[in-house]
């Protein structure tokens, strides 16, 4: 079985999903590349994703996939969230007016879509339809030595805790374990020096993201 690698071309540290101009040989990616990871083969499909006529991708910060293999693209443009089926057809979009600075996205096993708004110092937990279930953080109110000060990414550990990388605040990167659905009634924080890596039970947290 051959899987799919979505082709993204870097623009500074963000991503551009739009095809490169035909005469831009420097940024043309070969479409016959196949890589192997964990025993599976993945082929590059470039470009990927079909948008309505006249619409283009904005700067893409991150993407995630739900349990139905739908791809959620989080972009710094309206609408901020684009939802594609596994064939690359746009099936939904939402989030206009909700985000100041799209950064991280994570989808839990029960399809809760967690979206990190870096400059608003807030994380939104949304249904797949875009309905906001709850919010973490105080919008446009950065915090000192507590969540959040320019959060960048979020992930969920097997025990249900959320881990947030708070990578642009005055203390460098803060690892914030938050109990599921309980806001900030969660656990302690740990400070991670800028450009360092913090290991957790499920992976690692760096200033710019959770891996």
List the CATH number of the domain containing 62.
2.120.10.30
Q: Is the pLDDT of residue 132 over 90?
A: yes
Torsion of CA 23, 27, 32, 37, to 10 degrees: -170
Give the domain range for residue 26: 1-48
> Do 142 and 203 sit in the same domain of this protein?
yes
Residues 15 and 60 in one domain: no
pLDDT score at 26: 55
Quick one: 127 and 167 in the same domain? yes
Which band of pLDDT confidence, cut at 50, 70 and 90, is reported for residue 51?
very high
Same domain, 34 and 72: no
Token pair of 41 as six digits: 């083969």
* pLDDT of amino acid 33: 77
pLDDT digits (tens, 9 = 90+) for 177-188: 565 544 443 434
Identify the residue whose tokens are 């096993």: 109
Q: Is the pLDDT of residue 195 over 60?
A: no
Whether residue 44 is found in the same domain as residue 58: no
Which residue bears the tokens 């283009």?
56
One domain for residues 31 and 132: no
Same structural domain, 8 and 58: no
When pLDDT is averaged across residues 68-97 and rounded to a whole number, the result is 97
Model confidence pTM above 0.85: no
Count of domains observed in the chain: 2
Residue 60 shares a structural domain with residue 133? yes
Between 20-24, 40-44, 108-112, 165-169, the lowest mean confidence (pLDDT) is in 20-24
């Amino acid at each position: 079985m051959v899987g799919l690698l979505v082709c993204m071309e870097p623009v500074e540290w963000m991503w551009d999903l739009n095809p490169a101009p035909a005469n831009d040989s420097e940024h043309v990616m070969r479409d016959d590349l196949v890589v192997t990871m964990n025993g599976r083969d993945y082929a590059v499909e470039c470009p990927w994703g079909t948008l309505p006529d006249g619409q283009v991708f904005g700067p893409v910060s991150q993407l995630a996939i739900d349990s139905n293999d739908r791809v959620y693209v989080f972009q710094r443009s309206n609408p901020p969230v684009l939802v594609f089926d596994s064939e690359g057809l746009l099936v939904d979009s939402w989030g206009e007016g909700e985000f100041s600075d799209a950064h991280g996205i994570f989808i839990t096993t029960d399809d809760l879509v967690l979206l990190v708004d870096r400059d608003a110092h807030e994380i939104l937990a949304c249904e797949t339809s875009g309905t906001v279930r709850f919010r973490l953080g105080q919008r446009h109110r950065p915090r000192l030595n507590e969540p959040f000060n320019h959060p960048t990414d979020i992930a969920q550990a097997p025990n249900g805790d959320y881990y947030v990388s708070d990578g642009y605040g005055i203390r460098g990167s803060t690892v914030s374990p938050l109990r599921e659905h309980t806001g900030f009634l969660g656990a302690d924080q740990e400070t991670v020096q800028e450009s360092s890596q913090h290991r957790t039970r499920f992976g690692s947290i760096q200033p710019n993201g959770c891996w």
